[in-house]
Amino acid sequence: MRFSRIKNIIFGFDFAKIYRNFNCNSAIKNFTLSLLCCLICFGCVTEIKVPSSTQTAKGPVVKVILTPDSTIIAYCSKVVDITSPFYAETQATATLKNSYNTPSQSFILLKPGEYIWKSNLKAKDSFYFHYANTEDTFEVFDRLPTKIVISKIDTATQLIPGIGNTQTFAVHFKDSALYANFYRLYVVQKIIKYTLNTSGNIIDSSYYIEKMKIDGTELPFLRNSYNSYTDKELLFDDETFNGVEANFAFYNLNPFANSKTLKLISRTIILENTTEALFNYYNTEAAHIWQQQSITQIPGVVKSNIPNGYGVVGGFTSDYYTILYNK
């Protein structure tokens, strides 16, 4: 290696010349060479600022989910320190209009932290949301998805390994080819739970409404890794079937059986076509909740379209199909 043209100007020395003039033993030469390499490398070091893992947004926390022709509630608060009490917003102003050419309509304060608005939005309407409080202002512009229609539901009883005999569902719906679509699928079931006396006779009963545990092995479900964080819904996009008739099967994660203390009344399959921002929010929210309960993972950040804040302004269209069971 030649050193005759290498100079380090940090301290104004010509280290190559010094090295050539050394007629001492190899240990001194090796030391000088090592010092030269260190100084050259030191001169090339650039400081990189690593953001703190504890750094958080300092702005508003707003959650607004828009649906056509319905009453909308905006949940509004702000980020506070862990030692501070929850802050329910009362001084904010929130407006929404469905295009740039129509007048804005204001949300009305319902109670601390909640503002209400009567939606006149339709599927595919663009919307413009404006929010301001004493410290922050932001705007969100988006579009409601196309109307989704479930054409039919096929059901069957099937033996699923690890579960046993359980009910499977095949959902048929038509996907729009003009837009990228993002879907959320879940099932709400209505159950009667009976209370028996010591003789085994019914003495009381109660109605329960709950989300059914579901899973599926279809490609759109498997492509979304966030589905592994929840067993109450399936989220998927239309990348693999855009513009064609869709038919996806999923199944109940619990065995299909009634008993003396439990009777199934109905199941309602609900399919939502969501905005991308809401889709990302649901995905990361499920992961965050699961990671909070895990002893091996640190909770990740929930994706948000609120500048310097948390939450989401998004929307969806939906359709549902109810299956009634024999009483």
Instruction: Give 219's DSSP letter.
Output: H
Give the bridge partners for 156, in sequence order. 168
Taking the CA atoms of 261, 264, 265 and 271 in sequence, report the sign of the dihedral they define: positive
HEC string of 143-196 equals ECCCCCCEEEEEEEEEEECCCEEEEEEEEEEECCCCCCCEEEEEEEEEEEEEEE
| Mean pLDDT computed over 35-53 | 50
DSSP state of 54: T
Summarize pLDDT for 99-132 with one digit per residue, the tens: 767 788 999 999 999 999 988 899 999 999 999 9
More confident residue, 42 or 88: 88
Q: Are 79 and 302 in contact (CB under 8 A)?
A: no
3-state secondary structure of 63: strand
For 184-231, the pLDDT digits (tens) are 999 999 999 999 998 889 989 999 999 999 999 999 999 999 999 999
| CA distance to 48, 77, 110, 214, 276, per residue, from 310 (Å) | 27, 10, 21, 29, 16
Q: Is the pLDDT of residue 261 over 80?
A: yes
Across 58-70, average pLDDT: 93
Kindly write down the DSSP assignment for every residue of 15-47, as one continuous string.
HHHHHHT--S-HHHHHHHHHHHHHHHHHHT---
pLDDT in tens, 281-296: 999 988 888 887 776 6
DSSP letters of 243-301?
A: TSEEEEEEEESS----BTTEEEEEEEEEEEEE-HHHHHHHHHHHHHHHHHT-SS----P
pLDDT band at residue 50 using 50, 70 and 90 as cut-offs: very low
CA distance 124 to 146: 5
Q: What is each CA distance from 96 to 82, 106, 128, 141, in whole angstroms?
A: 32, 7, 6, 10
CA atoms within 13 A on the CB side of 215: 14
Q: Which two tokens stand for residue 172?
A: 């048929």
Q: Give me 269's structure tokens.
A: 């399959």
Q: How many CB atoms lie within 10 A of CB 273?
A: 26
What percent of the chain shows pLDDT beyond 90? 56
Distance of CA 15 to the CA centre of its chain: 58
pTM (predicted TM-score): 0.78
What distance separates the 2 farthest-apart alpha carbons in the chain? 106
Mean pLDDT over residues 275-283, rounded?
A: 96
52 pLDDT more than 50: no
pLDDT tens readout for residues 140-174: 999 999 999 999 999 999 988 888 899 999 999 98
Mean per-residue pLDDT, 313-326? 94
- pLDDT for 2 equals 45
Q: How far is 269 from 154, CA to CA, in rounded Å?
A: 11
Q: Cα dist. 48→39, 45, 51, 57 in Å?
A: 19, 9, 10, 21
Domains of the chain with bracketed CATH: 1-48 (no CATH), 60-143 (2.60.40), 150-324 (no CATH)
pLDDT confidence of residue 95:
95
Mean pLDDT of the chain: 84
pLDDT number for residue 47: 46
Is 273 or 285 the better-scoring residue by pLDDT? Answer: 273
Q: How far apart are CA 64 and CA 94, in angstroms?
A: 10
